[in-house]
Amino acid sequence: MKFTINRAVFTAKLNDVLRAISSKTTIPILTGLKIAVSDQDVTLTGSDADITIETVLPSSEESTNLTIEQAGAIVLPARFFSEIVKKLPDKLVTIEVSDGFQAQITSGSAAFTINGQDANNYPHLPEIETKDGVSLAGDVLKEIIGQTVLAVSTQESRPILTGIHLVLADNQLFAVATDSHRLAQRKITLPQAVQERYDVIIPGKSLTELSRMITDSQATVELRIAENQVLFVLGNTMFYSRLLEGNYPETSRLIPETEDTTIELNAAGFLAAIERASLLSHESRNNVVKLSVTAADNTAKITGNSPDVGNVEEAITTTSLSGADLEISFNPDYMKDALRSFGQSEIRLSFTSALRPFTLVPTQDAENFIQLITPVRTY
């Protein structure tokens, strides 16, 4: 095996593959990076058994400056290898395995020899039938992930809730996540109807990593779903994730159908106020902030209190306020996550009572995006 490649291009691709590689793995060879060289291209593979990322650097792409002298394959210690490549002096790097499982890495006047492992011992990739992919705009997919993954559970007690429930049917994509204290739900209309109905649960962690790989240059991402795997194709890079097994709870009945108190406000302004109030609630044992709405004088305020440290009160600027008076307490960290998902938008908060979940939706698009938060009982 021997090839020479543009170091900056190689480093960028290495960084992508490294996302899948964990130093805490029970399968030692997975701390390694697999490099496979054919006559036409170099393929890098990293995996933590849940996520597998494979990327191809073709010699036909001019920017790679790739010259292949001999095909072959090796597994090299991933973190260490990438640290070396990043710090090398020259524009190009040459990687050669002449004999056994030792790789020579040369660039300018620097020459490293590092011990690798037999690529034949590296696990095989999941196989996914390539027919029937769904094409999504990169920025839309990234937005959907960002808006829902915040509500994914981080607790392993109910593994199914650590995923995002994704349903593709006709020309609709539906994504929902809940940790049972809050819920985030997003719908979009697909440019084209899908052939088949898909109903899968993708680990939140996988989607977070995927989302970091979707850059502005990634116009479209193709989604392919198999029995127990999902594959996202980003140009020359394949991102595989296992699916969670089991039935996702029915979430539609959680969203209240009536509302007794409604306020409309700017998400960013309200977020700043909640951030201030949470400084204080974080000092308190129960970490709650209270929202009080008084219809008669058209005011809303938030209050927080920590017996040891002090208290806070802030009048909230609303653009609209209607319905019954209300006092409701909630975890400000859930509120912050939800508000951040709306960016600078105007949003509507709808409440039924102090002990029932309430919703946040964009005023302009109430149908397709909902954040729901369960209040905290404080008495």
Residues that bind its own copies (CB under 8 A): 77, 80, 83-84, 87-89, 102, 109-115, 272-273, 275-276, 279-280, 283, 308-317
Query: 76 exposed, middle or buried (CB, 10 Å; 0-12, 13-18, 19+)?
Result: buried
Q: Which is nearer to its own copies, 109 or 217 (CB)?
A: 109
Handedness of CA 315, 282, 185, 225 (dihedral sign): positive
β-bridge partners, 43: 36, 56
- What phi, psi does 38 have (nearest 5°)? -105, -170
Cα torsion for 290, 293, 298, 302, to the nearest 10°? Answer: 0
Q: Which is nearer to its own copies, 113 or 172 (CB)?
A: 113
d(CA 151, CA 128): 29
- Tokens 């296992």 belong to residue: 242
Q: Which is nearer to its own copies, 52 or 278 (CB)?
A: 278
CB of 316 to its own copies, least distance (A): 8
Q: Which is nearer to its own copies, 79 or 187 (CB)?
A: 79
CB of 325 to its own copies, least distance (A): 20
Q: Which is nearer to its own copies, 212 or 282 (CB)?
A: 282
Q: Which is nearer to its own copies, 74 or 210 (CB)?
A: 74
User: Helix, strand, or coil here: 205?
Assistant: helix
Q: Which is nearer to its own copies, 286 or 364 (CB)?
A: 286
d(CA 360, CA 342): 9
Nearest Cα to 353, choosing from 322, 329, 317? 329
CB of 124 to its own copies, least distance (A): 27
d(CA 268, CA 291): 17
CB of 299 to its own copies, least distance (A): 11
Is 184 in contact with 207 (CB distance < 8 Å)? no
d(CA 171, CA 64): 38
Q: Which is nearer to its own copies, 15 or 311 (CB)?
A: 311
How many C-beta atoms lie closer than 10 Å to residue 221's C-beta? 24
CB of 87 to its own copies, least distance (A): 5
Amino acid at position 108, single letter: G
d(CA 351, CA 300): 13
CB of 154 to its own copies, least distance (A): 25
Q: Kindly report the CA angle at 36 between 33 and 42, in degrees rounded to 5? A: 105
Q: Which is nearer to its own copies, 19 or 79 (CB)?
A: 79
CB of 29 to its own copies, least distance (A): 16
CB of 199 to its own copies, least distance (A): 43
CB of 129 to its own copies, least distance (A): 40
Nearest Cα to 236, choosing from 7, 17, 81? 17
